[in-house]
Chains A and B, each alone.
Chain A
């Protein structure tokens, strides 16, 4: 049983957990921005008519979705030095998270754009709008509303996925738990504490997703 559970050790290690938490938050934030950029680029390629841009985008999205993030992370971690790029673990991790989440975000944005009824597009064509005007004034503002909740869902996934970076020794939250587990042989204290911190982030983002749904009126948009 856990009769030796030591809150004192947790308090002692609290600065380490705090640092880990902060690192997890900012590296997830950077990765999310990176993923948005990757996702927008992929989606733009995927919506082209010609296969020249579409085929590589589709292949990339399928390849990412059909393989585990951990294998992708190791691919970059062990593979980049081979190509002459010796980067810090943290950078490799952010790169892996951005490239991975980007594929999912591309699909989320695409679904948002395709959710706009055809009639709207036809009406704007009939009003003599150019492609750019149509996208900027009609399609994207509406698609934006639809994509925010699933994007926040992807942000939750990304924060949880960032735990895998501990396996290439990035000093984030899970790594802090591992250190406590291995230094003091206290896995219960280490891993239960970080689980609590992750839950904090999860409930925070979940509440944000709920609020954004209400602000944007996505819940009532169908009726």
Chain B
């Protein structure tokens, strides 16, 4: 009985690897796109135009105020009514990218606001253009505030990618769900699924903690 289960589990390890691969690919694509979009939105949010800033703020609130599962359902089931047919993977990438961009936007905006206004004024006085000011003066200093929560956000993104299994994408969680139909040992199967996520997420959590300590120390030095 027990032995049969092990054999059956061992037999489904290619499926598990594919699931883990899907989780990693899905997260990675959304992570890159979400970071780019999030930085863009964050810069626009603090960029002076009040209208633009409040439009972005309202969108971020809408995304932060609704469950990710509901967002996925909305994208997957409603966009087709507008003539946009999506497969589960594309819908997942869109939903995750949007979610990541909204959270990263707020992180970046907070980082930019933390840069003392004297710095911006000095950059203005030195005749730097808007772009130079952002790229050479504001963003490098903002990164200190941005980096630790940004890495933390990546962990959340990887974990949230599990929700995409609800629309049938065969990621790691979905694989667990499929395997448990054949091998009725939920404890073992989902323990192994958990191990898969842990291997991906835990190094990032450690990195976030380390960054937090280092950036905190660096920040203290500057304030002294």
Per-residue CB contact flags for chain B residues 182-203 toward chain A (1 = under 8 Å, else 0) read 0011110111011001100110
User: Are the CB atoms of A66 and B74 closer together than 8 Å?
Assistant: no
B89 sits at the interface (CB 8 A):
no
> In whole angstroms, what is the CA distance A75 to B194 when docked?
9
> In whole angstroms, what is the CA distance A47 to B99 when docked?
34
Please, which residues of chain A bring their CB within 8 A of the CB of B125?
Answer: none
> A79-B187, A191-B77 known; A72 and B202 CB under 8 Å?
no
A67 sits at the interface (CB 8 A):
yes
A86 sits at the interface (CB 8 A):
no
A29 sits at the interface (CB 8 A):
no
B173 sits at the interface (CB 8 A):
yes
Shortest Cβ distance from residue A143 to the other chain B in the assembled complex, whole angstroms = 20
Of residues 55 through 79 on chain B, the ones whose CB sits less than 8 Å from some CB of chain A are: 61-62, 64-71, 73-74, 77-78
Nearest chain A residue, comparing its CB with the CB of B70? A195
> In whole angstroms, what is the CA distance A89 to B220 when docked?
49
A160 sits at the interface (CB 8 A):
yes
Nearest chain A residue, comparing its CB with the CB of B71? A195
Please, which residues of chain A bring their CB within 8 A of the CB of B148?
Answer: none
Please, which residues of chain B bring their CB within 8 A of the CB of A188?
Answer: 77-78, 81
User: Are the CB atoms of A66 and B197 closer together than 8 Å?
Assistant: yes
> A65-B205, A188-B81 known; A71 and B197 CB under 8 Å?
yes
Query: Which listed segment binds B: A30-38, A112-120, A132-140, A162-170?
Result: A162-170
A82 sits at the interface (CB 8 A):
yes
Please, which residues of chain A bring their CB within 8 A of the CB of B180?
Answer: 74, 78
Please, which residues of chain A bring their CB within 8 A of the CB of B185?
Answer: 82
B176 sits at the interface (CB 8 A):
yes
| Contact-size category for B | 35 or more
A187 sits at the interface (CB 8 A):
yes
> In whole angstroms, what is the CA distance A72 to B173 when docked?
10
Partner of A70, one of B61, B82, B165: B165
User: Are the CB atoms of B187 and A198 closer together than 8 Å?
Assistant: no
Nearest chain A residue, comparing its CB with the CB of B78? A188
A129 sits at the interface (CB 8 A):
no
Partner of B69, one of A2, A80, A163, A192: A163
User: Are the CB atoms of B70 and A66 closer together than 8 Å?
Assistant: no
> A67-B159, A68-B197, A192-B74 known; A74 and B68 CB under 8 Å?
no
Please, which residues of chain A bring their CB within 8 A of the CB of B176?
Answer: 71, 74
> In whole angstroms, what is the CA distance A70 to B193 when docked?
11
User: Are the CB atoms of B165 and A75 closer together than 8 Å?
Assistant: no
Per-residue CB contact flags for chain B residues 143-164 toward chain A (1 = under 8 Å, else 0) read 0000000000001001111110
User: Are the CB atoms of A198 and B69 closer together than 8 Å?
Assistant: no
Shortest Cβ distance from residue B145 to the other chain A in the assembled complex, whole angstroms = 16
Please, which residues of chain B bring their CB within 8 A of the CB of A1?
Answer: 81-82
User: Are the CB atoms of B159 and A187 closer together than 8 Å?
Assistant: no
Partner of A74, one of B61, B81, B160, B186: B186
Shortest Cβ distance from residue B40 to the other chain A in the assembled complex, whole angstroms = 25
For the complex of A and B, the 6 pairs showing the least CB-CB separation, nearest first, are A78-B186, A202-B65, A163-B67, A187-B77, A75-B190, A79-B187
Q: Can you list 5 contacts pairing A with B, beta carbon distance less than 8 Å?
A: A71-B193, A78-B190, A82-B184, A82-B185, A174-B67
Q: Residues of B with Cβ closer than 8 Å to A?
A: 61-62, 64-71, 73-74, 77-78, 81-82, 155, 158-163, 165-166, 172-173, 176-177, 180, 184-187, 189-191, 193-194, 197-198, 201-202, 205
